[in-house]
Amino acid sequence: MNIILLGPPGAGKGTQARRLVEERGMVQLSTGDMLREAKDSGTEMGKRVAEVMARGELVTDEIVIGLIREKLEGENGGGFIFDGFPRTLAQADALGSLLAEEGQTLEAVIEMQVDDAALVSRITARSTCGSCGEVYNDVTKPIPADGKCSNCGGTEFKRRADDNEESLRQRLMEYYKKTSPLIGYYYAKGLLKGVDGLGEIDEVAGQIAAIID
């Protein structure tokens, strides 16, 4: 079962993807994570994309399609979860071709619906564990009082360079201009399912589980 999690920055795609990995052994393919890894490891490509990402703009289709192509050849466990990809119509077309080449199909595109006001407060309050990537939120899921990650015990937490109001405004603009057309694209293919992304993490997970089962 291969699915796409679609939605604006801060909709909760990464949080839900991590749960699906834990609970169902699915494989999360997050182009945002892959690009941040490239940046942190100082590869040429990582250096090139760092500024684009910090501004909240999209990196080129060619780069992200290349990243996804490599991963599709690997193990997919209980299926792939595409998180933050595709983000343009060209990427969606490329994904269709790549899956077809691998003899794979896409079963559902889950659109996580949230309003902009919620996105701003979620994102500006967000931090993640430097060791395991567990996501925290200053308001709804604060870092434990003992300063240790509840998942792995790590003590270092990071905030993303693009999690500030200005970059977020740009990321939202990119989403509405370039990514939201995918809603119609997948609706027309009969694959689109909407979930209300404003509820508690467990509630949203329940809605997603109902779609997958």
Catalytic residues: 13, 87, 126, 160, 171
Binding-site size for Zn ion (CB under 5 A) equals 8
d(CA 20, CA 80) in angstroms, rounded, equals: 10
- Asked whether 196 and 207 are in contact (CB, 8 A), the reply is yes
d(CA 12, CA 204): 9
For ligand ADP, which stretch binds (CB under 6 A), given 49-57, 100-108, 133-141, 195-203? 49-57
> Residue 23 phi/psi, 5° resolution?
-85, -25
Of all residues in the chain, what percent are helix, strand and coil, respectively (each to 5)? 50, 15, 35
**Position 85 contacts ligand ADP (CB under 6 A):** yes
Give the whole-angstrom CA distance, residue 36 versus residue 31: 8
Q: Which stretch binds ligand ADP (CB under 6 A): 53-61, 96-104, 146-154, 202-210?
A: 53-61
**Total residues contacting ligand ADP (rule CB under 6 A)?**
18
Q: Residue 106 binds which entry of ligand ADP, Zn ion, none, with Cβ cut-offs from 5 to 8 Å by kind?
A: none
* Interface of this chain with Zn ion, residues 120 to 139, rule: CB under 5 A: 129, 131-132, 134
- Residues 149-188 within binding reach of Zn ion (CB under 5 A): 149, 151-152, 154
Nearer to ligand ADP, 85 or 205 (CB): 85
Question: Would you say 156 and 146 are in contact if contact means Cβ atoms under 8 Å apart?
Answer: no
- Residue closer to ligand ADP (CB basis): 26 or 86: 86
* CA dist., res. 178 & res. 123, Å (int): 20
Q: Which chain residues interact with ligand ADP by CB under 6 A?
A: 9-10, 31-32, 35, 52-53, 56-59, 64, 84-85, 87, 91, 162, 171
